[in-house]
Amino acid sequence: MMTELDNRFMRHCIELARRARESGDHPVGSLVAREENVLGSGTESTRRLLDIAAHAEIEALRAACRKTGAMELAGATLYTTTEPCYLCSFAIRQLRISRVVIGRPYAAAGGLTSRHPILIDPSMTCWGPPPIVVSGVLLKECEALFTDPH
């Protein structure tokens, strides 16, 4: 179920995505929150940092782990403008994120809508439980990040 807090945090992710685009990366923004407290945020930075793993979700998860001093983020929600890929889905499961809120799908290699929905696959028990997923939050605004240059 989507909440007003989901909309507020997704708007913040959209701003992060715009910053990523201005830096020459794909327009993806992400943050991790527990209740109303932001634990970490990130922008897609693979090109800027020359780091193949510097996805917005990974950057947000890294920041949240540093802030909490823990490698487990149960009870937290990850917000992201674009559906997490396989790499990010693995990290989400490993860190035991409880909920994921997604703007736009990424059917080619997303952990939810692709042929390999590893984000929610219940058979991958060694990765931690699948999170609750809410998809399509501010969908048009998130899709516009890839089509509208402004």
- The alpha carbon of residue 116 and the mean position of all alpha carbons in its chain are separated, in whole angstroms, by 17
Quick check: is 4 catalytic? no
pLDDT per position as a tens digit, 55-74:
999 999 999 999 999 999 99
Q: Which of 44, 57, 59, 141 is catalytic?
A: 57
Give the predicted TM-score (pTM) of the model.
0.96
- pLDDT tens digit sequence for 110-128: 999 999 999 999 998 888 8
Q: What pLDDT is stored for residue 134 in this prediction?
A: 98
Which pLDDT belongs to residue 1? 78
27-37 residues labelled b (16+ CB within 10 A) or e (exposed): bbbbbbbeeee
